[in-house]
Chain A
């Protein structure tokens, strides 16, 4: 099974991944096969399962109070940035 090249282009655009024409061909085929696997779910009768997200957790509900306790990590955080200036991340100009 293969999916449409245009669909792969659309997904890649949504995921912000640049693909070459060769990549698109390869991923169309492979993602098609993965969707083939996922389509097995169509056999399962889920009519009686409530539409709310199924709770997969093991009983956690550990809410913490919503208070600011720390901060001022600007220097620490920017140490890992590829580029920064005057306490900010820098990128190419976004607004003309």
Chain B
């Protein structure tokens, strides 16, 4: 094993600044690993030449104090972030050939700190999915497997490639986006850390839009410390996104002291759902015990509207998607269908969208169109907005009583085999998001951290949800659990060619 294997951002940062490793060596190491890990299909594009060029530049800066907080750190980002002059298609055929003439705000913040881009990561088409199976590139594959079965498992979604790449150590860390759990669910499935910040913490400018009132970018990393480091860099107000808020960005890393004394952790009764596997219940109970042992006070709480989160989400997210995705018409960018003679502009729109979008995207556009259409707008869309306000109020009530954060499982199951939900109703797939969707609806920060495994060795995650703007608190509790749970498992490396 080389000393470059299994590094974290914080360790690599130290080794780089002490001159013990070079940015070029580290970048070459990851490019070679990506090349030999193609079976995982985690990357949809690599930017080797640009990465090496940037690495050389970083190595020249190494003795300069003001070299950037991520100088020489190789990262990768989900295919949903617009990257200037680098193809970006949100894993959809309809954006085939699209080359953004601009860079998303959050990624530009990484490059401004001299981080290195290794490539773009696989995802569900337009971030619509919980298994990575709706991607035009084919699904990324979870590096974890049940040893006795050797069956390819889903990396989760939508940021499946982002989580699989980090778990397989193909980059130091990655960025994903989370609309209903798309950072946290794949993080849980792949045994890595993922945080969705408060709505408004990061700019959404230059991120291909799915549901604008829910979408947030966030890091997927090997450790809580690394999440703190990346989150601080991508946070902050952006004039180009009026929903980003000009609140002060704390030093998240400095806040990691692991001190749980005086903390009140809420355990919501409504997250005890019938049919949850005993391993997940056990994981949750162990997490509760660990926090109690470290000095936190555990309190039972109630979030009465929890069960309406999924129906609310599956009205609002498709409604927003149907209007955001109206721009894909075969005229301005991406794919355009070939027309027969006599066909006109309507056929151009209809055929381009029919051939360019996958089934899940079509389903959501149509559901969104339906709930926004005359006669149904009030019954569904307006009602869902009102229920959303009740869900938000549930959380506010709990936090106003002094609860610092809420502990729940991240997912109702471990990673499932690819293809195992093909014959099932789409609603069955939506149930994956049952524990993650409420934080999006309420705009709250939430993290997933791996704290244990199933009996047959698949990783499981716990989720910590905090009040708006309290990412420091959420990260610190996760940091404590990370120390105490001792999760150190790594997937067996079966995938290298």
Contacts and interface: CB of A to CB of B under 8 A. Distances in A.
Nearest to B200: A58
Contact-residue bracket for chain A? 35 or more
B311 A41 contact: yes
Contacts of A8: 366
Interface string B315-341: 100000010000001111111100100
Contacts of A89: 331-332
B363 A27 contact: yes
Interface stretch (B286-294, B386-394, B487-495): B386-394
A53 B385 contact: yes
B374 to A, nearest CB: 10
Interface string A48-77: 010101111111101110000000010011
Nearest to B383: A41
Given A17-B357, A80-B98, A91 B314 contact: no
B67 to A, nearest CB: 31
A92 B442 CA distance: 45
Given A54-B385, A81-B332, A31 B370 contact: yes
A41 B310 contact: no
Interface string B366-386: 110111010000001011111
A62 B99 contact: no
Interface in B433-447: 441-443
A19 B387 contact: no
A16 interface: yes
Interface stretch (B19-27, B140-148, B157-165, B242-250): B242-250
Contacts of B245: 58-60, 62
A43 B383 CA distance: 11
Nearest to A29: B425
A15 B388 contact: no
A92 B345 contact: yes
Contacts of A56: 199, 213, 385, 388-389, 392, 441-443
Nearest to A73: B101
A64 B98 CA distance: 29
B101 A18 contact: no
Nearest to A76: B101
Contact of B384 (A7, A41, A77): A41
A77 B365 contact: no
Nearest to B214: A56
A6 interface: no
Contacts of A27: 362-363, 366
Contact of A18 (B239, B353, B367): B353
B274 interface: no
A92 B371 CA distance: 32
A30 B425 contact: yes
Contact of A58 (B97, B386, B468): B468
Contact of A64 (B242, B389, B469): B242
A44 B426 contact: no
Given A17-B365, A33-B427, A41-B387, A60 B242 contact: yes
Contacts of B109: none
B206 to A, nearest CB: 14
B331 A57 contact: no
Given A31-B370, A38-B314, A51-B382, A44 B427 contact: no
Given A11-B370, A14-B369, A60-B200, A37 B430 contact: yes
A51 B322 CA distance: 23
B242 A79 contact: no
A60 B244 contact: yes
Interface in A5-35: 7-8, 11-12, 14-19, 26-27, 30-31, 33-35
B56 interface: no
B443 A18 contact: no
B198 interface: yes
B334 A80 contact: yes
Given A58-B245, A60-B243, A33 B426 contact: yes
19 contacts: A15-B369, A16-B353, A17-B362, A26-B359, A30-B425, A35-B367, A37-B311, A40-B307, A51-B382, A54-B386, A56-B213, A56-B441, A57-B243, A59-B245, A60-B200, A80-B99, A80-B332, A82-B336, A92-B348
Given A8-B366, A41-B384, A57-B213, 10 more contacts: A14-B373, A19-B354, A38-B315, A41-B312, A44-B390, A58-B198, A80-B333, A80-B334, A93-B344, A94-B344
Interface of A: 7-8, 11-12, 14-19, 26-27, 30-31, 33-41, 43-44, 46, 49, 51, 53-60, 62-64, 73, 76-77, 79-83, 89, 91-94
Give the 5 A-B residue pairs with the shortest CB-CB distance, closest first.
A54-B389, A80-B333, A82-B336, A18-B354, A18-B350
